[in-house]
Amino acid sequence: MKIIYEDKDLIVADKPAGMDIVSLGEELSKQYLELRKLERNGLIHRLDKNTSGIILFARTQESLIFFQKQFINRDIEKRYIALATGRIEENKGEIKAAIGRSPKDRTKQKVYLPFEPGAQNQREALTRFTVLKRLASETGDKYTLLEVLPKTGRKHQIRVHLAHINHPIAGDEMYGFKNQPRPEGLSRQFLHAKSIKLKLTDGKEREFESQLAEDLENALSKLYDE
């Protein structure tokens, strides 16, 4: 696990896929003993187990509150790289749809349309995306490489929203469609937390970036520009 940045208040780590955030916090607390005094070892936000990339930990209670407020107030800018299944025609898009827990499977989230029962009790979610490349495999399967900006922070938001527009993330076994294609060698959802821009406790704004994970780079190398 790579540490991208640290100061007296903040640790910016590069989370590997396959490691849940609780285990990640426990591992960090062995190196940074002050994290043991904080709730969830100072974890500021969430990443899914099989999503790689930028994750933040606070080193003091004061800084934990400081950074969490920026998330609550939506002052943080997060960017992800995702490989969507199928060809997305528009170069830019916006998905605005409420998300809540699925009544059929409590481990999953779902989009609630305005006319659905319980929709009024769900939380609005907004995801914006830009097409980076349109790709294809040797067998003719289509994919679209996206930069994604979630403007809200709902659980599984990007995954649920892209599935909602019929372009689930490649390799996503929870929200993907039955028998959907996946690039050769891809063993998890193609979703990477590329960057976070936020204000530090000294008042300066900083942006931290994570290189695309090696397994995702290898999956892309099996695809061709359309």
Indicate if 48 belongs to the active site. Answer: yes
Torsion over CA of 209, 193, 190 and 122, rounded to 10 degrees? -160
Give the span between the Cα atoms of 27 and 67, in whole angstroms: 21
**What count of Cα atoms within 13 Å lies in the side-chain half-sphere of residue 182?**
19
| Amino acid identity at 32 | Y
The one-letter code for the residue type at 34 is E
Among 54, 88, 76, 56, smallest CA distance to 169 is for 88
- DSSP state at residue 144: E
Going by C-alpha positions, the residue among 36, 39, 1 that lies closest to residue 20 is 1
Question: Active-site residue among 7, 9, 48, 75?
Answer: 48
Cβ 165 vs Cβ 150: under 8 Å = no
**Inter-residue contact 76 to 196 (CB < 8 Å):** yes
User: Would you please indicate which residues are annotated as catalytic (active-site) residues?
Assistant: 48
